[in-house]
């Protein structure tokens, strides 16, 4: 029996909304909230299979829950297959980035290309809005919309959304932006939703149950290489292939006498350099160079009164903490530099720095971290055991 609407909005405020559901508790609470506001909802589940084209058992479970959810509210549910688009773009980008020795951000590309790209082209554009269970919000300033942080700083997902376009942002709704995760759980249990106690998914976008290292091994294989202590040039172990490691990584190195951190990678010779903290300058930095900078709403440096440097806060990884700094425009080619007020650990080329306003309320955009422009020389461990020097990578 279809559930009765409790708190409908005035008819003129109701919209036709596409809701992306995943089988998780967050998107289910979005459905419950918007349904009781009287909106015209259509539910969509984006289905992605494994890389060999086979189905995913977890997707079957997700679809079963989404089907129960749709039936409860008397709503249509449509399965949107975007398998080829996902593997041709998101995972191809991921593997190519890793193979270059860089650190990819597949979740960011998944949102930009799949959820708010191909889905919008396929079905989303037919609706007034597309709603998701992301922890983010949208604020208006001076007649323009901005991606804004969520009320729950731990669950905030603006860093995963920082590559979307202004047109994409303008078509989105984030109904959970003002709610802490604990309240979302409470609402789910109060509404007796079928997934109220289901655990949050972890891992790669759409492929949460796949082990990331197993995924890399299947596609890139293994290639033993040397682990070198960067301060001494001494070989202290071996690794399975540089693509399994990222700058700043601490776990999974299999080295004694640590903690050890990955501080550099030599892709050409398949060597990773580590430090155990005796020289913390090898692990930290304050200058971050960005390429391919993407501004969501506007480029602040294109304003008529724009200064040479702008105060910001930023993140270089998924964390509730922001770091203060200033950003400046290097040249017309789109390069920018962030000067941090404090040391930043594990600056990983290929990853993204997410740029926010000084009060950390608005997400302005993101840029890909590039290799340092100045090259120093460090010792290289050659396969035959000899040492030589090469430019710092």
User: What's the rounded Cα separation, in Å, for the pair 18 and 128?
Assistant: 8
Beta-bridge partner residues of 290: 336, 369
165 compared with 56, residue with greater pLDDT: 165
> Residue 205 catalytic?
yes
176 compared with 264, residue with greater pLDDT: 176
What mean pLDDT comes out for the span 146-170?
98
* Pair of tokens at residue 191: 């509404």
Peptide bond into 238 cis (omega under 30): no
Residue 40, classed as helix, strand or coil, is: strand
Options 57, 66, 205, 363, the catalytic residue? 205
pLDDT at residue 142 in the model: 93
Taking the CA atoms of residue 322, residue 325, residue 331 and residue 332 in that order, the dihedral angle to the nearest 10 degrees is: 40
Q: What residues have CB less than 8 Å from 305, skipping those under 6 apart?
A: none
Average pLDDT, the chain: 89
- The rounded Cα 69 to chain-centroid distance in angstroms is 27
Q: Which segment of 270-284, 299-313, 367-381 scores lowest on mean pLDDT?
A: 367-381
What mean pLDDT comes out for the span 230-256?
91
Residue 317 backbone dihedrals phi, psi, to 5 degrees: -155, 170
Residue 354 backbone dihedrals phi, psi, to 5 degrees: -100, 125
Q: Which domains does the chain have, with CATH numbers?
A: 11-190 (3.40.50.620), 283-369 (2.40.30.10)
User: What's the rounded Cα separation, in Å, for the pair 249 and 390?
Assistant: 23
What mean pLDDT comes out for the span 235-253?
91
Checking if the pLDDT of 376 tops 80, the result is no
Checking if the pLDDT of 393 tops 70, the result is no
pLDDT at residue 348 in the model: 86
Q: Which segment of 56-65, 91-100, 247-256 scores lowest on mean pLDDT?
A: 56-65
Taking the CA atoms of residue 250, residue 255, residue 259 and residue 263 in that order, the dihedral angle to the nearest 10 degrees is: -50
pLDDT at residue 346 in the model: 78
Residue 356, classed as helix, strand or coil, is: strand
């Amino acid at each position: 029996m279809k559930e009765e609407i409790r708190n409908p909005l005035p008819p003129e405020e109701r919209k036709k909304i596409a809701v992306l559901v995943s089988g998780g508790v967050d998107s289910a609470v979005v459905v419950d909230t918007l349904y009781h506001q009287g909106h015209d909802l259509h539910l969509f589940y984006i289905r992605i299979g494994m890389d060999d084209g086979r189905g995913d058992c977890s997707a079957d479970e997700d679809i079963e829950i989404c089907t129960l959810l749709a039936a409860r509210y008397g709503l249509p549910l449509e399965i949107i297959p975007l398998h080829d688009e996902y593997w041709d773009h998101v995972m191809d980008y991921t593997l190519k980035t890793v193979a270059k020795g860089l650190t990819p951000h597949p979740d960011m590309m998944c949102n930009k290309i799949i959820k708010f790209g191909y889905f919008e082209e396929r079905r989303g554009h037919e609706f007034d809005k597309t709603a998701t269970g992301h922890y983010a919000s949208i604020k208006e300033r001076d007649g323009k919309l901005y991606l804004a942080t969520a009320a729950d700083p731990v669950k905030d997902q603006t860093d995963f959304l920082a590559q979307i376009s202004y047109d994409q942002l303008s078509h989105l709704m984030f109904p959970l932006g003002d709610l802490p995760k604990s309240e979302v759980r409470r609402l789910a249990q109060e509404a007796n939703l079928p997934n109220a106690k289901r655990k949050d998914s972890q891992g790669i976008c759409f492929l949460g149950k796949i082990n990331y290292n197993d995924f890399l091994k299947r596609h890139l294989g293994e290639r033993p290489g040397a682990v070198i202590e960067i301060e001494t040039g001494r070989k202290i172990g071996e690794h399975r292939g540089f693509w399994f490691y990222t700058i700043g990584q601490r776990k999974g190195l299999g080295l004694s006498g640590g903690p050890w951190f990955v501080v550099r990678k030599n892709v050409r010779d398949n060597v990773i350099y580590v430090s155990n903290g005796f020289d913390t300058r090898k692990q930290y930095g304050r200058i971050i160079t960005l390429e391919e900078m993407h501004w969501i709403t506007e480029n602040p440096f294109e304003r008529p009164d724009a200064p040479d440097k702008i105060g910001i806060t930023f993140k270089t990884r998924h964390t509730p903490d922001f770091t203060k700094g200033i950003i400046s425009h290097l040249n017309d080619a789109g390069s920018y530099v962030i000067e941090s007020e404090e040391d930043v650990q594990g600056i990983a080329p290929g990853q993204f720095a997410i740029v926010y306003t000084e009060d950390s309320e608005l997400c302005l955009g993101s840029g890909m971290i590039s290799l340092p422009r100045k090259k120093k020389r460090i010792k290289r461990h050659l396969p035959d055991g000899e040492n030589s020097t090469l430019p710092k990578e």
